[in-house]
DNA sequence: GCCGTTTTCGGCCCGACTGTTTTCAGTCG
């Protein structure tokens, strides 16, 4: 049996936490499981392998008890305590706790006192007005439960996902950025900042938080509610407004006092895990952090901060870029006294070229020349044209003969354009057996080859890993594209042993891209950090299929790189062409 | 269940909101 992936282990911890919570365990025990799930999900090495090596308690939040459970999970595929609790609580009960407003305590009472064990029996009981008979429940509770069930089930039907209703970041920013700009332009506004997971550049967001200060808070709140994008207003007052846009995304505007702006912005930027860790560390120094200020036990005074820099400084830290605020070591690194130092993160303007783009030769929309002009407009020194290969299908495949003609076209364009190097490339399919779909002689004639998986996603982890390793070891493969194939909020990554992949890529001098397409961002932040630590040269590519995305996608790749703690040096295509060219495997004698 | 420049036991971030209460538990972010 294959080892469970980190994602599978994390899911097992989450499930056990939920089950223990239903079972009435103290909250700290439940939190311990949720922490362990997150640590596992964020781990850059195989937690199963660490468990086998007897080293898993080196992970923060994993102690002797969880180690025992991990051993059982790795060796038998399940955890005995989970089996026991699953028998005790029906699966429908866990689903009930996912309804907003219905937690483990109340769900369990519904189960024990009314025998309700599913969303269906819950709905029936609410309609029959049997729930109000329970002490602590009333008619309002029945209404809310029915409304929650409707929202939950329609969300499930609409996005086919888990009903969490998250938005890929670019969709959310398309809404958020014009709103923030408009609020900043409003005469009543002083400061307006996006907060929350959008400010941290997370893969997806649930809703949008905007923090502001204003001469006339009410006027600013009204300005938001009157915007065309707003579908409905859930609330408005002197402290802000809460609205829903036509796109279905909720926006919470908070207008706060200027001397607390830093506290509030820091609090609502999160992440939750970052804030909890920040506060726990502060308590040990007699400081209590909240969105209103920092209460000092010694003086009884509350420090209010107009800026985030003041908040972090008061707690002994350098200001931490929002992309790093995930409790992945950033607090330790930011300590003013004894920290190891935060990395100088790569920036959008550091990028000097793009190594993955498409044209009309395959499924792109624009011609070589248009893409070249767009790249030049971005100040790039190089652009690789990498259309799909011979077996791509969808009517977009490029036969070997067509590729030969494409090489000529690209080289001709390269002569026509001054100041930019146009690379004749290809995004070659990695076939299920690990072979490529062009002959080696043709691959050798190209200036650049990026190899990707575009078919047979569901083969098992071992086969997928061997498949990609074959490409990594291939002499004419310079880089690997979108390694895990995930589509954010739409398609899970395929099973692949990223540790083996990164080790092989580092050993072979094969680069791995962060594909910047906003619905891919693949490598993800955790993988990209692990890859760089393993010595892999990271690329930042847009996979642009048209002129516009050559620019517009780039910042999502940068965001992932920054969330991965990457510096400019760790991203290969921050280098000028003269330095990048010899880094290609084919230039290093790889062929 | 984890963890240790106040601890191997006794702590574990902080506050708002909701609905049901008459002082609060549960839930959420």
**Residues A502/A532, Cβ–Cβ less than 8 Å:** no
pLDDT at res. A166: 86
Determine the distance between A327 (CA) and B3 (C1') in angstroms.
17
Per DSSP bridges, beta strands A421-429 and A448-452 are parallel
pLDDT reading at A128 higher than 70 = yes
**Average confidence (pLDDT) over A33-57:** 92
User: Which positions on strand B lie below 7 Å from a protein C-beta?
Assistant: 1-3, 6-7, 11-15, 18-21, 25-29
Please give residues of chain A from 434 to 463 whose alpha-adjacent beta carbon (CB) lies under 7 Å from any atom of strand B: none
> Does at least one atom of strand B sit less than 7 Å from the CB of A332?
no
The per-residue pLDDT for range A321-358, each reduced to its tens digit, is 999 999 999 999 999 887 778 999 999 999 999 999 99
Q: Tell which wins on pLDDT, A162 or A113.
A: A113
> Does at least one atom of strand B sit less than 7 Å from the CB of A337?
no
**Cα-based distances in Å from A264 to A254, A289, A521, A579:** 9, 11, 29, 44
> In angstroms, rounded to a whole number, what is the distance separating the alpha carbons of residues A13 and A40?
9
Residue A510 tokens, joined: 């094969």
Among A169-178, A230-239, A526-535, the minimum mean pLDDT is found in A230-239
Determine the distance between A527 (CA) and B1 (C1') in angstroms.
28
pLDDT tier at A163, thresholds 50, 70, 90: very low
Please give residues of chain A from 29 to 58 whose alpha-adjacent beta carbon (CB) lies under 7 Å from any atom of strand B: 29, 31-33, 36, 57
Please give residues of chain A from 341 to 370 whose alpha-adjacent beta carbon (CB) lies under 7 Å from any atom of strand B: none
**Closest residue, by C-alpha, to the C1' of B15:** A290
pLDDT reading at A247 higher than 90 = no
Nearest partner of A82 among A165, A11, A188, A160, judged by Cα: A11
> Does at least one atom of strand B sit less than 7 Å from the CB of A289?
yes
> In angstroms, rounded to a whole number, what is the distance separating the alpha carbons of residues A432 and A103?
45
The per-residue pLDDT for range A357-378, each reduced to its tens digit, is 999 999 999 999 999 999 999 9
> Does at least one atom of strand B sit less than 7 Å from the CB of A87?
no
Q: Tell which wins on pLDDT, A248 or A185.
A: A185
> In angstroms, rounded to a whole number, what is the distance separating the alpha carbons of residues A96 and A166?
20
pLDDT at res. A1: 65
Q: Which nucleotide is the nearest neighbour of A272, by CA and C1'?
A: B29
> Does at least one atom of strand B sit less than 7 Å from the CB of A92?
no
> Does at least one atom of strand B sit less than 7 Å from the CB of A269?
no
Handedness of CA A376, A380, A385, A388 (dihedral sign): negative
Please give residues of chain A from 123 to 162 whose alpha-adjacent beta carbon (CB) lies under 7 Å from any atom of strand B: 132, 135-141, 144
pLDDT reading at A234 higher than 60 = yes
pLDDT tier at A588, thresholds 50, 70, 90: confident
Nearest partner of A479 among A391, A362, A586, judged by Cα: A586
Please give residues of chain A from 542 to 581 whose alpha-adjacent beta carbon (CB) lies under 7 Å from any atom of strand B: none
> In angstroms, rounded to a whole number, what is the distance separating the alpha carbons of residues A129 and A122?
11
Nearest partner of A580 among A551, A528, A543, A539, judged by Cα: A539
Nearest partner of A213 among A249, A266, A265, judged by Cα: A265
Nearest partner of A44 among A421, A509, A508, A503, judged by Cα: A503
pLDDT tier at A112, thresholds 50, 70, 90: very high
pLDDT at res. A248: 86
Determine the distance between A127 (CA) and B22 (C1') in angstroms.
30
The count of C-alpha atoms lying within 13 angstroms of the C-alpha of A324, restricted to the half-sphere facing its C-beta, is: 20
The per-residue pLDDT for range A294-325, each reduced to its tens digit, is 999 889 999 999 999 999 999 999 999 999 99
pLDDT tier at A161, thresholds 50, 70, 90: very low
pLDDT reading at A473 higher than 60 = yes
Q: How long, in residues, is chain A? A: 591
**Residues A206/A164, Cβ–Cβ less than 8 Å:** yes
Determine the distance between A26 (CA) and B8 (C1') in angstroms.
20
Q: Please name every residue paired with A209 in a beta bridge, in sequence order, or none if there are none.
A: A252
DSSP A536-555: PPEEEE--BSSHHHHHHTHH
**Closest residue, by C-alpha, to the C1' of B29:** A272
pLDDT reading at A11 higher than 70 = yes
Nearest partner of A558 among A548, A566, A549, judged by Cα: A566
> Does at least one atom of strand B sit less than 7 Å from the CB of A102?
yes
Cα Dmax for chain A: 82
Determine the distance between A97 (CA) and B1 (C1') in angstroms.
22
Q: Which residues contact A299 (CB under 8 A, 6 or more apart)?
A: none
pLDDT at res. A162: 46
**Average confidence (pLDDT) over A88-95:** 93
Determine the distance between A176 (CA) and B23 (C1') in angstroms.
42
> In angstroms, rounded to a whole number, what is the distance separating the alpha carbons of residues A17 and A23?
10
Neighbours of A426 (CB within 10 A): 30
pLDDT at res. A155: 77
Q: Which nucleotide is the nearest neighbour of A69, by CA and C1'?
A: B1
pLDDT at res. A429: 97
Determine the distance between A524 (CA) and B16 (C1') in angstroms.
34
| Residue listed under structure tokens 């703690």 | A565
pLDDT tier at A159, thresholds 50, 70, 90: low
Determine the distance between A275 (CA) and B21 (C1') in angstroms.
32
pLDDT at res. A394: 82
Residue A254 tokens, joined: 């908070």
> Does at least one atom of strand B sit less than 7 Å from the CB of A61?
yes
> In angstroms, rounded to a whole number, what is the distance separating the alpha carbons of residues A182 and A586?
50
Query: Torsions phi, psi of A257, nearest 5?
Result: -70, 140
**Closest residue, by C-alpha, to the C1' of B16:** A291
Q: Which nucleotide is the nearest neighbour of A107, by CA and C1'?
A: B26
> Does at least one atom of strand B sit less than 7 Å from the CB of A63?
yes
> Does at least one atom of strand B sit less than 7 Å from the CB of A591?
no
Q: Mean of the per-residue pLDDT values for chain A?
A: 94
> In angstroms, rounded to a whole number, what is the distance separating the alpha carbons of residues A404 and A399?
9
Domains of chain A: 6-159 (1.10.150.110), 167-255 (3.30.460.10), 262-334 (3.30.210.10), 348-588 (3.20.20.140)
**Average confidence (pLDDT) over A14-36:** 94
> Does at least one atom of strand B sit less than 7 Å from the CB of A272?
yes
> In angstroms, rounded to a whole number, what is the distance separating the alpha carbons of residues A526 and A581?
28
Residue A113 tokens, joined: 């006192």
């Amino acid at each position: 049996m294959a080892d469970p992936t980190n994602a599978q282990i994390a899911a097992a911890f989450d499930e056990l936490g939920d089950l223990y919570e239903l079972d009435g365990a103290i909250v700290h025990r439940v939190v311990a499981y949720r922490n362990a799930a997150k640590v596992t999900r964020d781990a850059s090495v195989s937690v199963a392998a660490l468990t086998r090596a007897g080293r898993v308690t080196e992970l923060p939040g994993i102690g002797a008890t969880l180690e025992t459970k991990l051993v059982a999970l790795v060796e038998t595929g399940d955890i005995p305590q989970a089996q026991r609790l699953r028998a005790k609580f029906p699966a429908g009960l866990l689903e009930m706790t996912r309804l907003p407003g219905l937690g483990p305590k109340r769900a369990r009472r519904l189960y024990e006192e009314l025998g309700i064990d599913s969303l269906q029996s819950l709905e029936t009981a609410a309609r029959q007005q049997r729930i109000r008979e329970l002490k602590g429940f009333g008619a309002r509770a029945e209404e809310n439960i029915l409304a929650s069930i409707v929202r939950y089930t329609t969300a499930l039907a609409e996005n086919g996902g888990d009903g969490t209703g998250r938005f890929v970041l670019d969709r959310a920013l398309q809404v958020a950025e014009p709103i923030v700009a408009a609020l900043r332009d409003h005469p009543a506004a002083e400061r307006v900042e996006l907060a929350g997971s959008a400010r941290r550049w997370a893969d997806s967001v649930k809703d949008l938080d905007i923090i502001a200060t204003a001469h006339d808070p009410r006027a600013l709140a009204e300005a938001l509610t009157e915007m065309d994008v707003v579908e409905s207003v859930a609330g408005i007052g002197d402290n802000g407004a809460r609205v829903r846009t036509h796109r279905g995304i909720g926006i919470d505007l908070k207008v706060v006092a200027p001397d607390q702006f830093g506290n509030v912005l820091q609090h609502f930027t999160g992440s939750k895990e970052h804030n909890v860790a920040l506060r726990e560390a502060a308590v040990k120094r007699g400081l209590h952090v909240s969105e209103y200020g920092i209460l000092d036990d010694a003086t009884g005074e509350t420090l209010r901060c107009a800026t985030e820099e003041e908040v972090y400084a008061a707690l002994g830290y350098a200001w931490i870029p929002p992309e790093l605020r995930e409790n992945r070591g950033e607090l330790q690194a930011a300590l003013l006294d004894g920290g190891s130092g935060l990395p100088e993160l790569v920036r959008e303007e550091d990028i000097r070229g793009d190594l993955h783009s498409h044209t009309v030769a395959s499924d792109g929309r624009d011609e070589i020349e248009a893409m070249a002009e767009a790249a030049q407009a971005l100040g790039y020194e190089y652009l690789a044209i990498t259309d799909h290969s011979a077996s791509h299908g969808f009517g977009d495949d490029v036969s070997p003969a067509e590729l030969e003609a494409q090489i000529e076209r690209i080289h001709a364009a390269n002569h026509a354009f001054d100041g930019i190097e146009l690379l004749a490339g290809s995004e070659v399919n990695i076939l299920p057996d690990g072979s490529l779909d062009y002959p080696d002689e043709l691959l050798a004639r190209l200036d650049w080859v990026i190899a990707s998986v575009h078919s047979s996603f569901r083969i098992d982890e071992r086969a997928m890993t061997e498949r990609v390793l074959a490409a990594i070891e291939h002499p004419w493969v310079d880089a690997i594209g979108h390694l895990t194939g995930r589509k954010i909020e739409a398609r899970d990554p395929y099973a692949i042993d990223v540790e083996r992949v990164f080790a092989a890529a580092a050993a072979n001098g094969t680069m791995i891209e962060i594909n910047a397409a906003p619905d891919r961002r693949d490598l993800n932040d955790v993988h990209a950090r692990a890859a760089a630590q393993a010595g892999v040269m990271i690329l930042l590519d847009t996979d642009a299929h048209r002129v516009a995305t050559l620019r517009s996608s780039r910042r999502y790749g940068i965001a992932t790189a920054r969330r991965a703690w990457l510096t400019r040096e760790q991203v290969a295509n921050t280098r000028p062409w003269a330095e990048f060219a010899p880094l290609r495997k084919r230039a290093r004698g790889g062929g």
